[in-house]
């Protein structure tokens, strides 16, 4: 037999405070009356929590709003976004992009730093120094949390980064240097998982609690969101679909190489090769930017004959092969195409993939083009860092 527990006064106050703070975060400045209407709390309770939150420095009066009645104007209360600051870092093989933001997730300053080759002994220090300088440019002296997105497996138990390929040594050195920052928490997450969070919260998957993001760039990966939760797997390897064995390659992938896996069908080099086979231009660099340009060129050529359409049809068929394997296992109901190639293909490519997928799987699956943009990894990192900061300051569970 279970006994119902009644919330203590302190617990009730904490719940009410979180409710009000989240409303101010989501909707912007509100009056006490608006907070009462939105929360259903009594006038004394709202007055009490506003006074308490002002004492903690999380809420401040930012103006007044005229009411259609006699008497003084109503005070407007807002979240103090400068109460804490955060940073997001997108780590790639060729450098980093970073952003410093406030408690509300508003970007205050950004920076990019290129790294040639495998970098050198001072690469990690230069990146940390750039982060410091970027924060200072925004008037920020201390970062509460830094969220880092990087390629590779992030062990859920230890938080360590493990590579499934040849990553530069400065990646690990950068993480170690960031973790030495005094008073700053560091969160490490796989880059595609962060992009998946961005699509879930602000992108194409808003309103869906279950979907899979397929990231199409230099290589291919996936972020799996089931019942509103990001799934990582036992070793952090959920979504490593570059290793997925698929028809159409000349062999099978191995534990140390994905060239003969799904990567070999839809990685940037394969997409560039496919474009050239259809008589379309593709930069010999065969990188993500080259593949993105090739897809955009095919879209531009749709009205000029068959090469563009034939290329997109074959690319869609290749993507659908991997998507079908994911869908018959997870049944997500929705697949979002992200990364440089997915972003370039947009709704045109997504529609063709959906059509092909319908012929491969009995499970009805909608395919959408990602809308979180080219900064999806950074956007997801900002959201992740912001969630962590608010859990700390708001006392969120």
Task: Establish how many alpha carbons lie within 13 A of residue 225's alpha carbon, considering only the half-sphere containing its beta carbon.
Answer: 25
Q: Classify each residue of 29-64 as buried b or exposed e, where b means 16 or more C-beta atoms within 10 Å of its C-beta.
A: bbbbebbbeebebeeebbeebbeebeeeebbeeeee
Q: Please measure the distance between the N-terminal and C-terminal CA atoms of the chain and give it in whole angstroms.
A: 26
As given in the structure block, the two tokens for residue 42 are 């009594």
Percent of the chain scoring above 70 in pLDDT: 94
Split at pLDDT 50, 70, 90, the class of 29 is: very high
Place of tokens 């534990």: 255
List C-alpha distances in Å: 98 to 84, 236, 371. 17, 24, 20
Contact 79, 21 (CB under 8 A): yes
Place of tokens 């998507």: 323
Q: Which of 251, 252, 235 is nearest to 243 (CA)?
A: 252
Q: Can you give the pLDDT at residue 8? A: 83
The tens digit of pLDDT for each residue in 339-387 reads: 999 999 999 999 999 999 999 999 999 999 999 988 999 999 999 999 9
pLDDT at 175 over 80: yes
Q: Can you give the pLDDT at residue 380? A: 97
Split at pLDDT 50, 70, 90, the class of 119 is: confident
* Side-by-side strand order, sheet with 220-226: 229-231, 220-226, 211-216, 334-338, 366-369
pLDDT at 93 over 90: no
SS3 88: strand
Contacts of 304 (CB under 8 A, 6+ apart): none
pTM for the model: 0.92
Helix (H) or strand (E) holding 229: strand 229-231
β-pairing verdict for 74-79 and 59-65 = antiparallel
Split at pLDDT 50, 70, 90, the class of 41 is: very high
Q: Can you give the pLDDT at residue 1? A: 45
Q: How far apart are the C-alpha atoms of 187 and 390, rounded to whole Å?
A: 14
Q: Which of 169, 164, 142 is nearest to 153 (CA)?
A: 164
Q: What are φ and ψ of residue 33, in 5° steps?
A: -65, -45
Split at pLDDT 50, 70, 90, the class of 301 is: confident
């Amino acid at each position: 037999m279970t006994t119902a527990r009644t919330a203590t006064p302190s617990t009730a106050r904490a719940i009410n405070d979180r409710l009000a703070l989240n409303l101010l975060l989501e909707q912007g400045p509100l009056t006490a009356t608006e907070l009462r209407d939105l929360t259903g709390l009594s006038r004394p309770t709202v007055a009490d929590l506003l006074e308490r939150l002002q004492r903690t420095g999380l809420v401040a009066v930012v103006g007044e709003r005229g009411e259609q009645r006699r008497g003084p104007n109503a005070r407007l209360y807002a979240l103090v976004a400068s109460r804490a600051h955060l940073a997001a870092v997108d780590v790639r093989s060729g450098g980093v992009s970073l952003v410093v933001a406030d408690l509300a997730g508003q970007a205050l300053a950004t920076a990019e730093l290129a790294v040639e080759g495998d970098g050198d002994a001072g690469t990690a220090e230069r990146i940390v120094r750039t982060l410091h300088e970027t924060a200072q440019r925004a008037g920020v002296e201390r970062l509460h949390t830094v969220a880092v997105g990087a390629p590779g497996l992030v062990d859920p138990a230890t938080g360590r980064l493990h590579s499934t390929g040849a990553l530069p040594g400065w990646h690990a050195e950068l993480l170690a240097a960031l973790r030495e920052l005094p008073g700053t928490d560091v969160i490490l997450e796989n880059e595609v998982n962060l992009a998946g969070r961005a699509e879930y919260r602000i992108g194409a998957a808003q309103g869906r609690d279950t979907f899979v993001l397929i990231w199409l760039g230099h290589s291919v990966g996936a972020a799996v969101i089931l019942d509103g939760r990001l799934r990582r797997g036992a070793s952090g390897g959920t979504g490593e679909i570059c290793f997925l064995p698929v028809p159409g390659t000349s062999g099978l992938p191995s534990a140390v190489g994905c060239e003969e896996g799904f990567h070999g069908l839809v990685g940037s080099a394969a997409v560039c090769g496919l474009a050239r086979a259809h008589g379309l231009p593709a930069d010999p660099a065969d990188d993500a930017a080259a593949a993105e340009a090739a897809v955009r060129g095919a879209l531009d050529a749709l009205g000029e004959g068959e090469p563009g359409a034939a290329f997109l049809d074959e690319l869609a068929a290749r993507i659908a092969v991997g998507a079908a394997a994911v869908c018959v296992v997870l049944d997500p109901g929705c697949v979002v195409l992200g990364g440089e190639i997915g972003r370039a293909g947009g709704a045109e490519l997504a529609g063709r993939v959906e059509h092909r997928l319908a012929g491969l799987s009995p499970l009805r699956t909608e395919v959408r083009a990602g809308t979180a943009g080219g900064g999806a990894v950074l956007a997801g990192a900002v959201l992740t860092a912001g969630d962590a900061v608010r859990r700390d300051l708001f006392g969120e569970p």
